[in-house]
Structure 1
Amino acid sequence: MDLYERNYMMMRCLVPVMPVTGFDGVSRMDGATDLHLRVSERFRFTSEVMLTYRFERDGEIVCEPDLRVRVYHDARLAEVMTAHPRHAPAFDLEGDAAGGRVCERWRVNRFLFKWLGYCLRQGHGFRPPPPGG
């Protein structure tokens, strides 16, 4: 649970105020890859966001890594629900009915922890627009 709590704290640094459902944002920093955030669900106690980089490869847009993260506002936790990391098999927590993939679950959430730290060190963030702007 400590890892999920840390992921939540870092998500809050990256996204201090959770935008509404359907928000599509891009954080651009000089010398860094653009970070894309999409809010797919926003409820009182939970939100789901997609977090990724987007690259063009052979004329197509490729999202890597492509993470769907559930943020539990009440419990102050953030957990990867699905992941499509580069050079690794896809991870789908909801598709794993038996729940027997504990090691993969830890590994993909550890990846989120490291990636969020990297993004924050680069200065990425999704801030609400200023009032009246």
Structure 2
Amino acid sequence: MILLRAPRTGLLAHDTPGSFAALMDLYERNYINLRRLLPIMPPASSVRTSRVAGGLDLHLRIIGRSRYTSDLILTYQFRQNDGVVTAEPNLHIRIYHDARMAEVMAAHLRHRAAFIADFHLNHQADSTHLHARWQTNRFLFKWLTYCLRQGHRFTG
């Protein structure tokens, strides 16, 4: 007998958008991709730029380091006609070295107001907040995948 669909077992699928399991899966995937992008964690206050032919410069700033975590900012930078530099997207990411996870702590995207989030100012545990965290971390996953495909790496 050929099954066209897997039987429902009552377990949560790891990729159900907005679910807690999907969010934890994204944290793990983001950690893996960040470590591919940044194999050696630089000291606090370090600033790095990754340049690839035909691509935008990717900017990294380490804003905090401790034994178990590292906080960083990952962004592109655009110079406006008036000389003002705009960072977009501008993601504050926390890496949990012991748990091997990475999560977006704050996301600032100028062109998408609904996407602006600072998760530590809003400690709601409802499904809307969970879905917003999933959505933001899904964006990080896709962006990291894109950057890695372009050949970005932070070395040295």
Which bin holds the TM-score, normalised by the shorter protein? over 0.9
- Answering whether residue 123 of structure 2 is matched by residue 97 of structure 1, we say yes
What's the RMSD between the two structures over aligned residues? 0.9
2:103: which partner in 1?
Answer: 79
Shift of 1:98: 2.2
Alpha-carbon separation, structure 2, partners of 1:20 and 1:119:
22
Query: Which position in structure 2 is the counterpart of 1:125?
Result: 153
Equivalent of 2:41 in 18, 39, 43: 18
Largest Rg, 1 or 2: 2
Offset from partner CA, 1:52-110 (integer Å, 9 cap, x none): 00001132000000000000000000000000124222110111122441111100000
Q: Please give the TM-score of this superposition, normalised by the length of structure 2.
A: 0.79
Give the length in aligned residue pairs. 128
**Deviant stretches of 4+, over 3 Å:** none
Cα distance in 1, alignment partners of residues 105 and 124 from structure 2: 15
What TM-score do the two structures reach when normalised by structure 1? 0.93
Alignment partner of 1:5 is 2:33: no
Pick aligned residue for 1:54 from 77, 82, 97: 77
Q: What is the identity, as a one-letter code, of the residue corresponding to 2:65?
A: R
Aligned match of 2:140: 112
Aligned to 1:105, the other structure's residue is in SS state: helix
More helix by share: 2
